[in-house]
Amino acid sequence: MVLQRLLPWSTCRTIFGSAEAVLWGLKSIKRSCLNFCTAICEGVTYKELKNLLKSKKIMLIDVREPWEIYESGKIPGSVNIPLDDVGEALQMNPKDFKEKYKEVKPSKSDSLVFSCLAGVRSKVAMVTAVSLGFNNAQHYAGGWKEWATYELSEKKQGN
């Protein structure tokens, strides 16, 4: 029992009140970790992202710095919220979010997909979102590099 190793039994009883509450607390922690770990593993492919963007059922958040987007481009329909600002942005009141990002603030039940250059920062942003209760958060591991490659390839093929 992890909690018992961290806290003496008397402390656990004080915090939770009874043995049943301690066991419930441990089950709850286990369930939360399972949900958290499941969400962390979620990633979308290029094709899935294209379909999600067409359906307009997600908010795509590009977590690169503005200069990176200016320099190389962005996935159409994405909103730029730099990685260092993601936690604060997702906790803003809706009016301030709309004013700063020109988009409606997502609710905790909305589907979010994070992207970056190559999938590292987007995964960090997804973990941040999940920790804040946004359980429908995913990331596009291929990032801008993969997107640009596929888009160029599709244009060459005339699709």
Q: Is the CB of residue 134 less than 8 Å from the CB of residue 108?
A: yes
Cα diameter, the chain: 70
Type of residue at 122:
S
How many Å apart are CA 76 and CA 80, to the nearest integer? 11
Return the active site residues. Answer: 116
In angstroms, rounded to a whole number, what is the distance separating the alpha carbons of residues 30 and 52?
Answer: 31
